[in-house]
Amino acid sequence: MLKAVEKRRAYEDIVKQIRDLVEKGRLKKGDQLPTERELTDTFKVSRATVREAIRTLESMRLVESRQGDGTYVLASSEEALVQPLAATLLHEKDDLADIFFIRKIVEPVVAQLAAEHATREEIKELEDILRKQEKDLSGGINIVETDSAFHNSLAGMAKNRVMERLLLAIVDLLAQTREGYLQNDERAHGSLRGHQEILSAIKRGDGNAAKQAMRRHLESVEGILFRKKQRRPKEGEK
């Protein structure tokens, strides 16, 4: 499956070949890559070049090197399409408010498209997710898992691959923020109500209502997560 590469910037060719194999499903999540020596022989490059390629793949969160064990594929074929974008966005992780702003632009449109294109099976999947979310809430279980499942399912229902990849990357980046937000019982119940409103609009096939419901849901979350501190007026200001 692998072949020798050109010496100039050879590590980039190695990265591309391995990434392509993951995206096509020929290397699956959990598979172990050949050893460093085997990769060196296959690609006809130095060990330093192989190591540079592995470090690049690790920074993209496509593989993981385990001390004394080997290098393993971290991403599935779907995730392999998303992870490079996520890795790029990670450079802006210190400003999550900006990332959330992009989410507010993308996800309402995703909800609109989901309402217009959802199949019965996809709607049933959302219903099942929200039933589990309600059950988890009653049992005192953090709903971050079902929250992610709901938004990830919506991303697929939009039937737009570019939007799906972008939204999955953004949702992944905001995972830690959502987990903290949903630890509050009142917020978690509010999130469930927001999801139910979105689902109701999707079931009616009302794209505009789904779009508005998603926007309200995200604005409610944003108002708590990124509440701006009010600046105290200086002396003489009204």
> Do residues 103 and 220 share a domain?
yes
Residue 86 within any structural domain of the chain = no
Rounded CA gap, 238 and 224, in Å? 26
Between 47-51, 131-135, 177-181, 208-212, the lowest mean confidence (pLDDT) is in 177-181
Q: Is the pTM of this model over 0.75?
A: no
DSSP output for the chain = ------STTHHHHHHHHHHHHHHTTSS-TTPBPPPHHHHHHHHT--HHHHHHHHHHHHHTTSEEEETTTEEEE---HHHHHHHHHHHHHGGGTT-HHHHHHHHHHHHHHHHHHHHHH--HHHHHHHHHHHHHHHHHHHTT--THHHHHHHHHHHHHHT--HHHHHHHHHHHHHTHHHHHHHTTSHHHHHHHHHHHHHHHHHHHHT-HHHHHHHHHHHHHHHHHHHTPPPPPPPPTT--
Tokens 């790029």 map to which residue?
A: 88
Residue 229 above 50 pLDDT?
no
Enclosing domain of residue 22: 10-76
Lowest mean pLDDT: which of 34-43, 95-104, 126-135, 187-196? 95-104
pLDDT for position 2: 73
**Residue 197: other Cβ atoms inside 10 A:** 17
Asked if the structure places residue 85 within a domain, the reply is no
Name the domain count of the chain: 2
Identify whether 5 is part of a domain.
no
**61 has a pLDDT exceeding 90:** no
Pair of tokens at residue 51: 């190591």
Q: Domain check: are 221 and 129 in the same one? A: yes
CATH number of the CATH domain containing 162: 1.20.120.530
